[in-house]
Amino acid sequence: KELSSAEVRSLFLRFFESKGHKIEPSQSLIPKDDPTLLWINSGVATLKKYFDGSVVPDNHRITNAQKSIRTNDIENVGHTARHHTLFEMMGNFSIGDYFKEDAIPWAWELLTSSEWFGMDKDKLYVTVYPNDDEAKDIWLNKVGLPKDHLYEEPDNFWDIGEGPSGPDSEIFYDRGAEFNDADESENYPGGENERYLEIWNLVFSQYNHLPGLTDNKDYPELPTKNIDTGMGLERVVSVFQHAKTNFETDLFLPLIHKTEEISGQYKYDEDDTKDISFKVIADHIRAVTFAIGDGALPSNEGRGYIIRRLLRRAVLHGRKLGISQVFLKDLVPVVGDIMASYYPEIAENKVYIASIVEAEEVRFNKTLSDGLSLLDEVIAAAKADNGVIDGDVAFKLYDTYGFPYELTDEYATDEGLVVDREGFDIQMKAQQDRARSARSNKASMGVQNELLTSLKTESTYVGWSELTVNSTDLA
């Protein structure tokens, strides 16, 4: 079967609608009333209010396709076939309604029935938590999955501390031996390989991780059990469009083609290193476009810093494709076209979004060439010396030339060098202290210019690898 991304999304939602689920629209990427989360990072993240009982849904069966951002995957983008910063997670949810005995056969029906996805059963593999005899029994005896397609995986337990927790079952699509990893021991469903593609995670939240219990997974059963699943749209689409990676699909190719046109120099699929740059640009512009569309803005803190980092990273990859002019703004309308059927608001707001992108590009371009020459110099010096880039230099690159710390760090890592993080943090802290005392001096002098102080908001440094931050870190 060959299906477009819009068809895949709509088949998923219609399937679960036919099983009594209510379709909920994709919510904003910016979490509502949830200071623990920087971005919506999964389908269930917008439905927490139902799962924790604070809101009772009118239908206990829900399905959605939810835009999600995962900053922990930034550095995977372009290097694996399957990771994005922004992706869509499609899911079906039971709030104390049906459980495993329905969720598992329905997943199988959607994937394999010729009326729906019609995937080849022989290509599907499943992992279960070793102690989850119920799930094993349903897969083997109710669904009829062959025994050699079922793997036990001790990591398949979803537990984020206090609250609902439980085993999960993941579904993999075998893309064929040509995608085997060089390390043969990794070539099994759940291993580090590009062959068995994880397409769907079914989480069975059946236990209550009570306060004070250790992580021994020996928790009491919940009075009402829930289902929470997540399927990556881009990955499933790559299967239907026989794509080598998620990028050779209708979700990304128009962006790649537009970038080829802007570059005028390089073509996609001719050189592996250049391909990474094409992929990073296509990925990051989607994330930035959606994030700005949802009201976030580039800045030095929290969500804004992530937008800034993604944009600047994309600009640097543009340089690698010979693009030195402002160009990311021209990709915004392409994102709007690709996503028009489910997210018409992007095309509607493309002028505004492109103007924010452009302003940020112009700002970075001003200092980029000087920053890059400084970086080249210090890389050469560090190579000749001890292999370490000074924290002071990393701070200067950040403060004067607009290089987010992580960009400098990535460049250094590519060259086999390390950056003195501690030295960078010391400089950052000193700058914040200076800003703070400047503000309090002003206050003590009786200066009450609110506009001025609000323009000079403190720049708080927020780590990247963190999916969650303290509420005080949020802008």
Residue nearest to ligand ATP (CB): 232
Selection from Mg ion, ligand ATP, none that 70 binds (CB < 5 to 8 A by kind) is ligand ATP
- Give min distance, CB of 239 to Mg ion, in A: 16
The stretch near ligand ATP (CB under 6 A) out of 55-63, 195-203, 213-221, 264-272 is: 195-203
Residue nearer to Mg ion on the CB measure, 73 or 473:
73
Residue nearer to Mg ion on the CB measure, 193 or 277:
193
What residues make contact with Mg ion under the rule CB under 5 A?
198, 201
H runs (alpha helix) in 3-47:
5-18
The stretch near ligand ATP (CB under 6 A) out of 14-22, 194-202, 274-282, 332-340 is: 194-202
Name 207's bridge partners.
Answer: 165, 221
Name 127's bridge partners.
Answer: 151, 170
Selection from Mg ion, ligand ATP, none that 240 binds (CB < 5 to 8 A by kind) is none
Selection from ligand ATP, Mg ion, none that 291 binds (CB < 5 to 8 A by kind) is none
Selection from ligand ATP, Mg ion, none that 83 binds (CB < 5 to 8 A by kind) is ligand ATP
* Cα–Cα dist 151/336, whole Å: 41
- The count of other CB atoms within 10 Å of the CB of residue 451 is 7
Can residue 306 be called a binding residue for ligand ATP (CB under 6 A)? no
Query: Do the bridges between strand 86-94 and strand 157-158 make them parallel or antiparallel, or are there none, so unpaired?
Result: unpaired
3-class secondary structure, 225? strand
Beta carbons within 8 Å of 242's beta carbon, 6+ residues apart: 2
Nearest partner of 323 among 354, 279, 272, 281, judged by Cα: 281
Residues touching ligand ATP, count (CB under 6 A): 16
Can residue 234 be called a binding residue for ligand ATP (CB under 6 A)? yes
CA-CA-CA-CA torsion for 267, 283, 310, 328, nearest 10 degrees? 50
Q: What is the CA radius of gyration of the chain?
A: 24
The stretch near ligand ATP (CB under 6 A) out of 113-121, 123-131, 230-238, 423-431 is: 230-238
* DSSP per-residue string spanning 129-178: -TT-HHHHHIIIIII---GGGEEE-TT-EE--SSEEEEEEEEEEEE--GG
Can residue 232 be called a binding residue for ligand ATP (CB under 6 A)? yes
Q: Contact letters (x/-) for ligand ATP, 78-97, by CB under 6 A?
A: ----xxx--x-x--------
Among residues 117, 200, 278, 395, the one that binds ligand ATP under rule CB under 6 A: 200
Q: Which residues bind ligand ATP (CB under 6 A)?
A: 70, 73, 82-84, 87, 89, 198-201, 230-232, 234-235
